[in-house]
Amino acid sequence: MSKKVNVISVKFSNEELEQIDRRALKTYRKRSTYIREVALGYAPKEKPPLEFYDVLKELRFLNNNLNQLTTKAHSLGFIDEKRYNKQIGMIGELVLELKRKYILGENRNGNNKNMGS
């Protein structure tokens, strides 16, 4: 993350500032972070519903259980590693897809770099 040392002064009407503040609040970002991200082509997303976190927690729990079962099966000498790796990969991809859909913003410039605050 680069050090932010440059300041730009921009004037907003009261209504515009209220709108910016509402949008920043919905995305759980500070006003300055929200304005910076939008100015750089990043489209921040609103915080996902609580159900999202419940599903993500359950997926992590299932992944942990699968890893424990696999460790035991491997120690006993009966595991299909190819199939196991495929299943773990699918769970990992699902978790990433959920994060992309509900948490990570979209960069309208095509650059997928994570925005720093």
Which of 23-37, 47-61, 83-97 is predicted most confidently?
Answer: 23-37
Question: Nearest Cα to 43, choosing from 61, 54, 29?
Answer: 29
pTM, two decimal places? 0.53
Higher-confidence residue: 113 or 16?
A: 16
d(CA 113, CA 59): 26
Whether 72 shows a pLDDT value over 70: the answer reads: yes
Q: Could you tell me the pLDDT band of residue 111, with boundaries at 50, 70 and 90?
A: low
